[in-house]
Chain A
Amino acid sequence: MKPYIREQKQFGLDTIPEDTCFEAGYLVTVNAGWRSIRPVVAADKCIGCGQCYLYCPDGVISLQDGKAVIDYDFCKGCGICEKICRPGAIGMEAERK
């Protein structure tokens, strides 16, 4: 399995590709740089129903050991998972840098 994201290099005129075609795995900006709130899963409340997995528009939620797990490198913080979570296991928390 290849890494989803490679370590971001400092790109300059000599190191960017000539065309918009490059080795996969370099994100331009992790989570597109605009996430202001992030979903946080309370594992004790999560029943593993998979609704958040089905509804996530970015496909960043997976189920591991029967619990929802979020990939924060790709999550844009839209909050749909929180809205769809009937047991109330997902809450949105402010991003702090």
Chain B
Amino acid sequence: MTKKFLSGDEAFAEGVRLARPEVISAYPITPQTIVVERLSEMVEDTSLDAEFIHVESEHSALSCAIGASAAGVRTFTATSSQGLLYMAEGLVYASGGRFPIVMMNANRSTALPWNIYGDQRDSLALLDTGWIQAYAENAQEALDLALMSYYIAEHRDVSTPFMVNLDGFILTHTYEEVEVPEQAQADAFLPHYETDNCFDFDNPKNMAFSAGPDTNYLFKYKEHAAMLRAVPVIREAEEKFAAVFGRQYPGLIDTYRTEDAEIILITLGTIAGLAREVADSLRAQGTKAGVVRLRYLRPFPGKELAQAVKSASALAVLEKDISFGAAGTVYTNVTSALQANGVTAPVYNFIGGLGGRNISRADIEAVFAKTASGTQQVNFIGIEVENA
């Protein structure tokens, strides 16, 4: 194990190197570019023995990864924003074909107005495409998720592609100290990829076939069941990861001072760190505040979340996303799961950070204050208007 000073993109590239993918296909897009630049350098200097395919678009990048996965090898791709949206057709081919591709997505706003900065509208718009979705908070978690994502995606009970999301710039481009494991450790954690879901010249198969109305729904049910089976596999991966690397991750959600909390902020990604600081200062002033960071959005941690917030009298969901005409997509998922699990506390939605706009300490203090006093259902941080 060595300590290095790395950005989120660079840390993720180190994690991918340690996972030994045999095929990488990618097209550069800000703020993802650095992860594939580093990986192409690793292939060039032979520290990573992989085929790096430079393609002409994101649609081709994912199509290439699907083809390589169908040939039975571990694959990686990465993208962001418009690139992810351009991949959308391939996303459902990958998940429907049950190809355990790992993708890093640098969360970035979507056009128009054109903007390269971070928000979560790109990946959240594609929540229904059958990919596991995880959201990292820091560079170490990004590197560790690169390794764990392959373990989970390729597990025989799961066989589902995995998207790891890193907040654009805030995580992809900021530097911190990161522990980079030795290859032997990574090999002890992550087995070689073995699958029957691949071409076989000796025993020809139909690959990625069509299925009519009589059987199609059965395949869709199986995708759903496999995603639900990912829940115990995530736990298994984190226990094995802790045994090998000495870092224990908390499962689908990461709770902070929620045990007795009256006001709980639910969020995802890098903003959770500042939210925890605000919770601490509120507690110093006598308000029992807590924070839940959603690490996974698919599979969705409904039961875990309901259990974590049961002491709260009011809840906030803070996200860098809005589904126009409804609410934030994270909010919709959260309220649905809480209602199904018997949580009756009011839940308010706070939309912030769109197009990379900073969410300040004062913004989060205001989120807690409005949640405590009650407010409208959907609130845009920085815009004080009554919604219809």
Interface residues of B in 213-244 (CB under 8 A from A): 214-215, 218-219, 221-222, 226
- The size of the chain A interface, using a CB distance under 8 A, is 17
| Residues of chain A with a CB closer than 8 A to B197's CB | 19, 21
A24 within 8 A of B: yes
| Residues of chain A with a CB closer than 8 A to B196's CB | 21
A44 within 8 A of B: no
**B interface, over-half SS:** loop
Instruction: Indicate whether A21 sits within 8 Å of B218 (C-beta atoms), given known contacts A28-B212, A29-B212, A33-B212.
Output: no
Task: Give the docked Cα–Cα distance between A12 and B221 (Å).
Answer: 11
A-to-B contact residues, CB < 8 Å:
2, 11-13, 16, 18-26, 28-29, 33
- The size of the chain B interface, using a CB distance under 8 A, is 24
Task: Give the docked Cα–Cα distance between A11 and B222 (Å).
Answer: 14
User: Which one of B25-33, B198-206, B376-384 is at the interface?
Assistant: B198-206
A24 lies within 8 A of B212 (CB): no
A16 lies within 8 A of B212 (CB): no
B-to-A contact residues, CB < 8 Å:
96-98, 159, 196-198, 203-212, 214-215, 218-219, 221-222, 226
> In the complex, which residue of chain A has the Cβ closest to the Cβ of B210?
A28
| 25 A-B contact pairs sorted by A residue (CB < 8 Å) | A11-B214, A11-B215, A12-B218, A13-B221, A16-B219, A18-B159, A19-B97, A19-B98, A19-B159, A19-B197, A20-B96, A20-B209, A20-B211, A20-B219, A21-B98, A21-B206, A21-B208, A22-B205, A22-B206, A22-B209, A23-B205, A24-B204, A24-B206, A25-B206, A26-B206
Task: Give the docked Cα–Cα distance between A60 and B224 (Å).
Answer: 37
| Residues of chain A with a CB closer than 8 A to B222's CB | 13, 16, 18
